[in-house]
């Protein structure tokens, strides 16, 4: 008996559910989720052939300005090929489904500027070292109303973790939870966060590709469901400059090939971390200045990364240290091995998750290959050390702007090598143009332009 293939199953599923439109998403170098939408009758052939996309879209920034990148102009196409494994009916859009796509060249090979293919290459590099990863993001966002003048105001002034915040946002949060359940995305925790109107939801970890795909569907779900409730959900890093920023902390753990043993766990290691886990963390810290250009990738990101805001501002790590770039999360007693993981706090939700997760993996693996040591854990807020103490401990302040982070990325040949020339060049060009455009404008323009793009 032949197995029905996944593409056939998806077509049958869509037809049976009377789906008419299927959104085929990609995420660009500016971190914007875009896509093209196929009508149901074309679904079968689109799954095989993809949908045409001008190559110029990977040179477009978050202001729809085209950056100068050789070969990314009006001539030339790639194909957006949907991955049937990501198919989901979208609960907030009747008779509509969604899939994420790979950017594929006309000859059928992955395009060198395809972010999702970049992440797949990093997953393969980890597998070569016998490592499979589990990853998950925490989603923080600010819920707002739009005022007649086009600016935004938070929906509440609830306190951190306050039950009154739960009361005020109950209906919209419940609809988000049910929409995620319907998309096979398991919810872990929810609570009102510190900032006015700020919410947080975390989802279950998964392999890196599934985690990055979920990231897209979660962002879409939060934004769409809030909109249906007459609200604007902003996942931008600092949508209100006087309030706590929105993080998109990335949790990760390292497993053996069979995904049975957590290689990060060592009962007798410092904070139950294995040497392998420590080297992976050391690799992240070593590459952090350049890595930031991919994990905190917008102009607005650098207004979030300030000392004393629990978002991290220094290349430090420590157990449950919420001012460290990497926090080793304390394990839970019922499953110490299974719950051992670390979190990159220096990450937000204006990322392209395929680039951010892939670059995190590349940096960590470099630490493993070079057997790096992350040094002494930091047990206080690193901002409270004197400059001399930080220097002694090898703790560096993060780049203070997107442009500085891009300089660091440009000088990081391991990271640019992992990205490959076309992805690295187009990414740099897009982001440099964003920096240039925003630095010529005021803060009101910055906030307004970031607010509802992420």
- Binding residues for ligand GLU, rule: CB under 6 A, are 140, 244-245, 247, 304, 310-311, 322, 345
Task: Tell me how far apart the alpha carbons of residues 271 and 412 are, in angstroms, rounded to a whole number.
Answer: 30
Work out how close the CB of 305 gets to ligand GLU at its nearest, in angstroms, rounded to a whole number.
8
310 versus 452: smaller Cβ distance to ligand GLU? 310
Which uninterrupted H or E stretch holds 422?
A: helix 421-439
193 versus 366: smaller Cβ distance to ligand GLU? 193
Q: Give which of Mg ion, ligand GLU, none residue 244 binds (C-beta under 5 to 8 Å, depending on kind).
A: ligand GLU
DSSP strand pairing (33-39 vs 96-104): unpaired
83 versus 200: smaller Cβ distance to Mg ion? 200
Q: Give which of Mg ion, ligand GLU, none residue 245 binds (C-beta under 5 to 8 Å, depending on kind).
A: ligand GLU
Q: Give which of ligand GLU, Mg ion, none residue 310 binds (C-beta under 5 to 8 Å, depending on kind).
A: ligand GLU
Cβ-closest position to Mg ion: 200
115 versus 247: smaller Cβ distance to ligand GLU? 247
Cβ-closest position to ligand GLU: 247
How big is the chain, counted in residues?
Answer: 454
Most distant CA atoms of the chain, gap in Å: 70
Short-list 142, 152, 229, 137, CA closest to 188: 137
Short-list 125, 132, 130, 136, CA closest to 362: 125
What DSSP line would sit under 235-269, residue for residue? -SS-SSTTSPPPP--EEEEEE-TTS-SBTTB-TTS
Work out how close the CB of 347 gets to Mg ion at its nearest, in angstroms, rounded to a whole number.
12
Work out how close the CB of 382 gets to ligand GLU at its nearest, in angstroms, rounded to a whole number.
15
Task: Tell me how far apart the alpha carbons of residues 120 and 130 are, in angstroms, rounded to a whole number.
Answer: 15
Q: Give which of Mg ion, ligand GLU, none residue 311 binds (C-beta under 5 to 8 Å, depending on kind).
A: ligand GLU
Work out how close the CB of 93 gets to ligand GLU at its nearest, in angstroms, rounded to a whole number.
29
Task: Tell me how far apart the alpha carbons of residues 412 and 396 are, in angstroms, rounded to a whole number.
Answer: 16
Q: Give which of ligand GLU, Mg ion, none residue 102 binds (C-beta under 5 to 8 Å, depending on kind).
A: none
DSSP conformational letter for 182: H
Work out how close the CB of 137 gets to Mg ion at its nearest, in angstroms, rounded to a whole number.
11
DSSP collapsed to 3 states, 209-229: HHHHHHHHHHHHHHHHHHHHC
Short-list 116, 100, 354, 118, CA closest to 217: 100
198 versus 221: smaller Cβ distance to Mg ion? 198
Q: Give which of Mg ion, ligand GLU, none residue 298 binds (C-beta under 5 to 8 Å, depending on kind).
A: none
Name the residues that contact Mg ion, by CB under 5 A. Answer: 200
244 versus 292: smaller Cβ distance to ligand GLU? 244
């Amino acid at each position: 008996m032949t197995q029905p293939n996944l593409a056939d199953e998806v077509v049958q599923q869509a037809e049976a559910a009377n789906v008419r439109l299927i959104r085929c998403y990609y995420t660009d170098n500016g971190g914007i989720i875009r896509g093209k939408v196929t009508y149901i009758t074309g679904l079968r052939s689109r799954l095989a052939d993809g949908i045409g996309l001008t190559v110029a879209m990977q040179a477009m920034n978050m202001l729809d300005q085209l950056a100068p990148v050789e070969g990314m102009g009006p001539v030339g196409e790639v194909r957006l090929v949907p991955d049937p494994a990501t198919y989901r009916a979208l609960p907030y859009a009747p008779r509509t489904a969604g899939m994420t796509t790979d950017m594929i060249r006309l000859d059928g090979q992955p395009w060198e500027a395809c972010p999702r293919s970049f992440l797949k290459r990093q997953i393969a590099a980890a597998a070569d070292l016998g490592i499979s990863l589990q990853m998950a993001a925490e989603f923080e966002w600010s819920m707002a109303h739009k005022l007649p003048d086009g600016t935004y105001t938070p929906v509440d002034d609830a306190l951190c973790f306050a039950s009154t915040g739960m009361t005020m946002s109950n209906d919209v949060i419940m609809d988000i939870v049910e929409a995620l359940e319907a998309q096979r995305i398991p919810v872990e925790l929810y609570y009102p966060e510190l900032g006015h109107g700020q919410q947080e939801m975390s989802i279950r970890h998964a392999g890196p590709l599934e985690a990055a795909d979920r990231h897209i569907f979660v962002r879409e779900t939060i934004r769409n469901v809030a909109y249906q409730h007459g609200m604007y959900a902003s996942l931008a890093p600092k949508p209100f400059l006087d309030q706590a920023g929105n993080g998109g902390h990335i949790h990760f753990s390292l497993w053996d090939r069979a995904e049975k043993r957590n290689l990060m766990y060592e009962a007798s290691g410092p904070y139950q971390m294995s040497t392998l886990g420590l080297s992976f963390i050391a690799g992240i810290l070593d590459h952090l200045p350049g890595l930031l250009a991919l994990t905190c990738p917008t102009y607005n990101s650098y207004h979030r990364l300030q000392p004393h805001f629990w978002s991290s501002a220094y290349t430090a790590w420590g157990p449950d240290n919420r001012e460290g770039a990497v926090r080793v999360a304390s394990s839970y007693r019922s499953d110490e091995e299974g719950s051992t993981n670390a979190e990159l706090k220096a990450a937000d939700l204006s990322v392209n998750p395929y680039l951010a997760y892939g670059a995190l993996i590349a940096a960590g693996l470099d630490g493993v290959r070079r057997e790096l040591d992350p040094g002494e854990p930091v047990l206080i807020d690193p901002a409270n050390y004197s400059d001399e103490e930080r220097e002694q401990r090898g703790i560096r302040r993060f780049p203070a702007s997107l442009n500085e982070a891009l300089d660091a990325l440009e000088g990081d040949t391991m990271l640019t090598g992992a990205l490959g020339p076309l992805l690295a060049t187009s990414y740099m060009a897009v982001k440099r143009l964003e920096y240039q455009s925003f630095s010529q404008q005021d803060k009101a323009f910055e906030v307004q332009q970031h607010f509802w793009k992420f």
